[in-house]
Structure 1
Amino acid sequence: MDYTPNRHDFDRYMTPNYAPQEVIPVRGKGSRLWDQQGREYIDFAGGIAVNALGHCHPVLVEALKTQGETLWHLSNVFANEPALKLAKALVERTFADKVFLCSSGGEANEAALKLARRWAVEHHGEHKDKIISFRQSFHGRTFFTVSVGGQPKYSQGFGPIPGGILHADYNDLESVMQLVGDDTCAIMVEPMQGEGGILPATPDFLEGLRQLCDEHNALLIFDEVQTGVGRSGELYAYKNYGVTPDILTTAKSLGGGFPVAAMLTTDRIAPSLAIGTHGSTYGGNALASAVALAAIEFIDTPQVLEGVKKRHALFRGHLETINAKHGVFKEIRGMGLLMGAQMATEYEGRAKDILALAIEEGLMALIAGPNVLRLAPSLVIPEEDIAEGMARLERAIEKLVVKA
């Protein structure tokens, strides 16, 4: 029986761990979407920094169609050509020598943490098991990754959390120095905290973490799930800082909307992920790998990466103009096309209110916690869509100001 689902069907058939908007998009093209009633929206949310090339980009569509008619899935019992090509492309474009492919950022971070612990035990003994992360960080939804993440609300209510995990303050090297020691196996950090408020690391902070890891024979893990694949204006954000990690995780923009992720590391560390120590049924899936390779090759070009930096300036300029009129933001920050606007004191906690008002105006946006408006649009969003989207955002903010 054919039927058209509606928002009430979510409440009826789906577990209640999400609270989606009332509209249901059914079609997308570039940086625009259309809902069931045919109403158009400009997309500044990007599927939470996933749709790096917008919706239905012809390069990704062609890669998916071609691979879909050739080979879908083999499992890790066999290698496949798209996965090998993707791994080669990632190695050639980064510090890495080896790649582990999986399906989500949480999986990639789980693999990174397991590898770090196993490497430390193999090379330094059972005592070297401490992992340092940062308050307000976010690393995924597996039990290990929510425990390493610095937001207790995500791990509460599920029983005892894994041990050996310590949390320092982001951009505060002294707080790390108080925790690090010879029992530290890894420090895990986002070059820019995403869910924690779109907060970029300072160069001195990341350089200090690199030095501490070197001094204590610990591994430096960069979680670039949200900042990677062009989002920061470089292929990976570590290139902005000149600080090289030992392990890097990547997802979201990697597949441009197709579920795929990877953990990257070096020949020094990779052998600890020996045969049978870890795996992923769908990791290295031929469909996902083909799409990801097309995304990487398209994005890692001067035209796209320089375009990200140019668009960042346009977004910042529009946000500053809006703020000059309405005074709703305390600070505008971010890198590339992952930007955050922290609410002013009188609008504390009101970022979420903007989302519903923006939908009324035909704009999709995000938040990063209750106090930061987050924008993560397509890396190739047309300038006219930026201007029109910002006009819609300003109308939403005008409504917020009136309601205040």
Structure 2
Amino acid sequence: MSTNIENKKEELQVESVDQYIKQVLKMIEKEQVTEEEAKWITQETVNNFREHVNPGFLEYRKTVTQDGQFAAVEWSDGGSCFQDVNGKKYIDCLGGFGIYNVGHRNEKVVKAVTDQLKRQALHSQDLLDPLRAILAKILAEITPGDLKYSFFTNSGTESVEAALKLAKMYSERTTFIATTRSFHGKSLGSLSGTAKGMFRKPFLPLIPGFRHVAFGDIDMMRKTFEACALVGEDVAAVLLEPIQGEGGIILPPEGYLKQVRELCDEYGALLIFDEVQTGMGRTGKMFAAELYDVVPDILCLAKAFGGGVMPAGAIVAKEKVFKSWFDNPFMHTTTFGGNPLACAAAIATIDVLLEENLPARAAEVGEYFLQGLKDATKGHEDKVMEIRGQGLMIGIEFHKDEVGYEVSKGMFDKGVLVAGTLVNSKTIRIEPPLNISYDEVNIVIQAFKEVLQNVN
């Protein structure tokens, strides 16, 4: 009897889940939803985040009301904007932390992915897949210097992990130098390079051999190299963001990156550039390495690499380094890295960046944007400490974290999405699509000006 009741209960649960799934799939089919449907989606989203995802998000997100009963729930996007489920439009100056360089759902990228999907979604893992080979050739052509071989990943932290493993295989050295205020990801290897203490402490001890020095301090970097050599712990590689993103949009001092390159050459260490956030045109060049005329030994890419449509990342390395994996290409692999859909997206993304000359446009629009934001702060020097940036990678630093949060919240209420850096609002970032219009830039500047006037 007990078994029959349990079986009946399981059947009802399966039937209930099946009905729920079908209801959700019907919602996905729709381009527009009714007011009643929008209310249901919002309630389901908030409740399911609380009960099944992580209730902490309801406390953290500025898009959630104080009692957690209502939230802005995103539903559709296009161009430089996205809409919530109620139809409110937002100019996206967060850009998914820098993934929408060619805009939201860029038509060329979407077409390349859907065309590929009609023929084949994922590869067999055994036969040679053509788009991976073609994309690797394209990267060899557009990356600086003699970077030649590529390995494809699904995300930024995976790209950094691959770079660290490749560096270890190249020299069998185990010491790495990273910098303070750096962010390289949250998997164990990349987290070992990341400098944010609150992310590191719960997982200590991390991968041994990492040293952190102040970003921009070449003397400290040199002394660390010297000390490591003296104690027999020679440096395998230096891991750097050319411009620090999560650390607060920190630009390197003049000549710093070239001096780091020279130190690496002097001590036989590799130079790894983490361009997960700075790459793909964001800073006014296709890669920030080109801004500073420095060629790394390994270049890490992700975020915008998939065109805002597919998760995709890569490392590109010099042949002398990458050949460590020639003898056994299975030393480091990933099931979905370099899959046909991701490669199609990346190829189309590069096409858009080149055809529309978006890196150069980022430099031009970024200069206009930066000056407009600076002009808007006149008379508010007691609130704003500094506005800095390169291309369309801009940081606004406030004297107090609380002011930055209020500005972010106020701009969101006016239909402009911005965000802090490293879960801290003392510096908020402006990272819109590189094809954002001047009219949209002016709207953002005006919103910033108005919000700043009303913040204490």
Distance 1:7 1:357 in 2: 22
Distance 2:124 2:445 in 1: 45
Partner residue, 1:267: 319
Distance 2:403 2:274 in 1: 28
- Measured after TM superposition, the shift of residue 325 of structure 1 is 3.8
Q: 2:407 aligns with which of 354, 374, 377?
A: 354
Q: 1:338 aligns with which of 384, 387, 393?
A: 393
Q: 1:174 aligns with which of 219, 237, 244?
A: 219
Matching residue's letter, 1:105: G
- Measured after TM superposition, the shift of residue 148 of structure 1 is 1.1
Partner residue, 2:16: none
Distance 1:294 1:325 in 2: 45
Q: 1:6 aligns with which of 39, 45, 58?
A: 45
Distance 2:394 2:209 in 1: 33
Distance 1:141 1:78 in 2: 32
Partner residue, 2:105: 56
TM-score, length basis structure 1: 0.93
Q: 1:137 aligns with which of 182, 185, 200?
A: 182
Distance 1:384 1:57 in 2: 19
Q: Counterpart of 2:215 in 1: which secondary structure?
A: coil
Deviations 1:217-242, CA, capped at 9 Å, x for gaps: 00000000000000011110000000
- Measured after TM superposition, the shift of residue 302 of structure 1 is 6.6
Q: Counterpart of 2:305 in 1: which secondary structure?
A: helix
Instruction: Name whichever structure is richer in helix by fraction.
Output: 2
Partner residue, 2:36: none
Deviations 1:316-337, CA, capped at 9 Å, x for gaps: 1211111114333211111111
Distance 2:342 2:96 in 1: 17
Percent identity among equivalent residues? Answer: 30
Q: Counterpart of 1:54 in 2: which secondary structure?
A: coil
Distance 1:11 1:395 in 2: 34
Q: 2:292 aligns with which of 236, 241, 259?
A: 241
Partner residue, 2:28: none
Distance 2:254 2:56 in 1: 37
Please say if residues 138 and 194 of structure 1, whose CA atoms lie closer than 8 Å, have aligned partners that are also in contact. yes
List structure 1 runs of 4+ shifted beyond 4 angstroms: none
Larger Rg, first or second structure (1 or 2):
2
TM-score, length basis structure 2: 0.83
Per mean C-alpha deviation after superposition, the further-off stretch among 133-142 and 293-302 is 293-302
- Measured after TM superposition, the shift of residue 16 of structure 1 is 4.6
- Measured after TM superposition, the shift of residue 106 of structure 1 is 0.2
Q: Counterpart of 2:320 in 1: which secondary structure?
A: coil
- Measured after TM superposition, the shift of residue 203 of structure 1 is 3.5
Partner residue, 1:232: 283
Distance 1:166 1:75 in 2: 41
Partner residue, 1:125: none
1:374 aligns with 2:432: no
Change (3 A) 1:54 1:325: farther
Matching residue's letter, 1:310: E
- Measured after TM superposition, the shift of residue 301 of structure 1 is 4.4
Please say if residues 189 and 223 of structure 1, whose CA atoms lie closer than 8 Å, have aligned partners that are also in contact. yes
Greater RCO (CA < 8 Å, at least 6 residues apart): 1
Per mean C-alpha deviation after superposition, the further-off stretch among 228-237 and 70-79 is 70-79
Partner residue, 1:44: 93
Per mean C-alpha deviation after superposition, the further-off stretch among 290-299 and 353-362 is 353-362
Deviations 1:68-99, CA, capped at 9 Å, x for gaps: 11111115433312222211111111131100
Matching residue's letter, 1:357: G
Deviations 1:274-331, CA, capped at 9 Å, x for gaps: 3221011101110011011100121134732221111101211211111114333211
Change (3 A) 1:7 1:313: same
Per mean C-alpha deviation after superposition, the further-off stretch among 319-328 and 375-384 is 319-328
Partner residue, 1:300: 354
- Measured after TM superposition, the shift of residue 7 of structure 1 is 2.6
Partner residue, 1:278: 332
1:15 aligns with 2:15: no
Please say if residues 76 and 283 of structure 1, whose CA atoms lie closer than 8 Å, have aligned partners that are also in contact. no
Query: Unaligned regions of 5+ residues in structure 1, if any?
Result: 122-127
Q: Cα RMSD over matched residues?
A: 1.6
Partner residue, 1:157: 202
Query: Unaligned regions of 5+ residues in structure 2, if any?
Result: 1-19, 24-39, 65-71
Matching residue's letter, 1:290: A
Q: 1:322 aligns with which of 372, 376, 380?
A: 376
- Measured after TM superposition, the shift of residue 11 of structure 1 is 1.7
Partner residue, 1:309: 363
Distance 1:316 1:159 in 2: 39
